[in-house]
Amino acid sequence: MTTTMMMDRMTMPGTMTNQSMASGMPTMPQMMPNMVMVPRCSMKIVKCEGGIKIMAMCDDPTACTMMQNLCTMMAGGMCSLCCMMNGMMVCCCNLTMGACKLEMMNNGCCLTCTSGDDNCCAMIQSCGDCLMTCMESGCCCCMMIGGTPVCCCMC
């Protein structure tokens, strides 16, 4: 019964509400929020020679397959990681200063971002430190390739 009541109160985009029908003036359709479902994983960021390795691992085989498929489809796009807390972005690292390479693992994927330039390497590793600090402090980290989220992590 509660489902019926909720449906009665909900207006669909492009339809006129009671208020707009009473006044005779059409109103703008309501915007629907952009939502996407991405697999939840555990993420580990470690420094390596020339940059960082980001390992995203899933316990659930279905989530792992979905993440690997998303990574394969989006391969070649710009890699970025976003940390969010309470729905607000805390940190966003665009890994444009290095060469990113995706490799599939048994339980997830490994993103390696490296650079031959010492300054770029320092920036990449600093981004890794920042991301790990954010995740250890309770942020949710979302890994994106080409602007499309492929997985998210809560430490």
Q: Who has greater pLDDT, 76 or 25?
A: 76
Tokens of 47: 């420094």
Per-residue pLDDT band at 87 (split at 50, 70, 90): confident
Tokens of 120: 């770029």
Residue 78 neighbours by CB under 8 Å, 6+ apart: 94, 95, 96, 145, 146, 147
In this predicted model, what pLDDT tens digit does every residue of 118-143 receive, in sequence order? 999 999 999 999 999 999 999 999 99
Instruction: Give first-to-last CA distance, the chain, whole Å.
Output: 38
pLDDT at 129: 95
- The bridge status of strand 79-85 relative to strand 40-48 is unpaired
Q: pTM of this prediction? A: 0.74
pLDDT at 77: 87
In this predicted model, what pLDDT tens digit does every residue of 54-64 receive, in sequence order? 999 999 999 99
Q: Where are the domains of the chain?
A: 40-147
